[in-house]
Amino acid sequence: MDLHHPILREFPEHRETIRRLKGSDDHFRNIFDEYHRLDDEIYRIEEEIDFATDQEIEELKMRRAKLKDYIYHLIRHAPAACPACEGTGVAP
């Protein structure tokens, strides 16, 4: 059983949008990075590398789920790709 939940595996159909947002949107990149730090923390607890109480792990999982929902919201409401931007989100 894989305990990691990376965003690209959660939303493979949005790979290009995620890549574009990570490269052009500081807010998205910060939320994306926070999600993955939290996912790694949960993984380490579930693998008994680090320790936490049941309540702490449930709170971490709830935060991860809320971040995932927010990331999905940002993906779904991202502006369409700009063909002239060559995937950067920034017009030349």
The domain of 66 spans 14-80
66 part of a folded domain: yes
Helix intervals (H) in 1-92: 7-10, 15-24, 26-46, 54-76
What is the predicted pLDDT for the residue at 84?
67
41 part of a folded domain: yes
CB-based contacts of 36: which residues, under 8 Å, 6+ apart?
6, 7
Q: For residue range 30-51, what is the model confidence (pLDDT) as tens digits?
A: 999 999 999 999 999 999 999 9
Is the overall model pTM greater than 0.85, yes or no?
A: no
Residue 88 has pLDDT above 80, yes or no: no
Query: How many domains are there within the chain?
Result: 1
What is the predicted pLDDT for the residue at 80?
83
What is the predicted pLDDT for the residue at 5?
87
Residue 10 has pLDDT above 60, yes or no: yes
Closest by Cα among 74, 60, 70, 75 to 12: 75
Helices 26-46 and 54-76: crossing angle, nearest 10°? 150
